[in-house]
Chains A and B, each alone.
Chain A
Amino acid sequence: DVKVTQSSRYLVKRTGEKVFLECVQDMDHENMFWYRQDPGLGLRLIYFSYDVKMKEKGDIPEGYSVSREKKERFSLILESASTNQTSMYLCASSSRLMFSNQPQHFGDGTRLSIL
């Protein structure tokens, strides 16, 4: 089974801090994703990476950056955390899309609170 592991289930940080959320997958997937999930808004894509050191902006990249130095690891960085970044963050991975039915596999999520 695919395993996507997020470093923390719950995280509390202060406004202005630099925050790192880590994600590791064990299936040699090329693609990795970061989403945030807010009540009533569903999942929104923050950033996507299709290869090591490659990244693309999603729908809501403002206030975030990412890093992918190794294939299995994809980090989300909040450069200067703000209270409106309090949310649930979900990491996902998938193989390169040779077939249309390849699902994204998700981690358990990180509930981040910015005080």
Chain B
Amino acid sequence: AQKITQTQPGMFVQEKEAVTLDCTYDTSDPSYGLFWYKQPSSGEMIFLIYQGSYDQQNATEGRYSLNFQKARKSANLVISASQLGDSAMYFCAMRVLGGGSNYKLTFGKGTLLTVNP
């Protein structure tokens, strides 16, 4: 079974600073993908960034980057130059690509990020 652990229920960061949101995962499958989503207070889930288990480089998308440490089974999200609009709930999710359940996303419980002015 797959499991995602986000150990930080809440995080605070000052505007313009960088922040790292932690995510560890557990799977025995060698092929998997890791996703980060942002959920503002309005409720919609916004896809941010993806990392594949065989990707050689860490993923980056604008101010978002993923610190992928495969041996440690961690996929931490780094947000650089935080903005007030980054205040939201952030979810880490994993999809295993083998077997019959390759449609399923397993989500962590989320981290609530608050950016202070």
Specify whether A and B are partners. yes
A43 interface residue per 8 A CB criterion: yes
B105 touches A100 (CB 8 A): no
Instruction: Give the tally of cross-chain contacts (CB within 8 A).
Output: 55
A108/B105 contact (C-beta < 8 A), A100-B31, A101-B33, A103-B35 known: no
Number of A interface residues in the complex (CB < 8 A): 27
Q: Give the segment of B40-48, B65-73, B75-83 that binds chain A.
A: B40-48
With a cutoff of 8 Å between Cβ atoms, the chain B residues found around residue A43 in the complex are 91, 93, 105, 107
Secondary structure of the A side of the interface? strand
Q: Which of B50, B102, B108, B109 meets A103, CB within 8 Å?
A: B50
Least CB distance from B58 to A in Å reads 14
Q: What separation, in Å, do the CA atoms of A90 and B65 have in the docked complex?
A: 26
Q: How far is the CA of A44 from the CA of B91 in the complex (A)?
A: 12
Pick 14 A–B contacts, CB within 8 A, sort by A.
A42-B4, A42-B110, A43-B91, A44-B107, A97-B97, A97-B102, A100-B33, A101-B50, A103-B50, A104-B105, A106-B45, A107-B44, A108-B43, A109-B43
Interface residues in chain B, defined as those with a beta carbon under 8 Å from any beta carbon in chain A:
4, 31, 33, 35, 37, 42-47, 50, 52, 91, 93, 95, 97, 102-105, 107-110
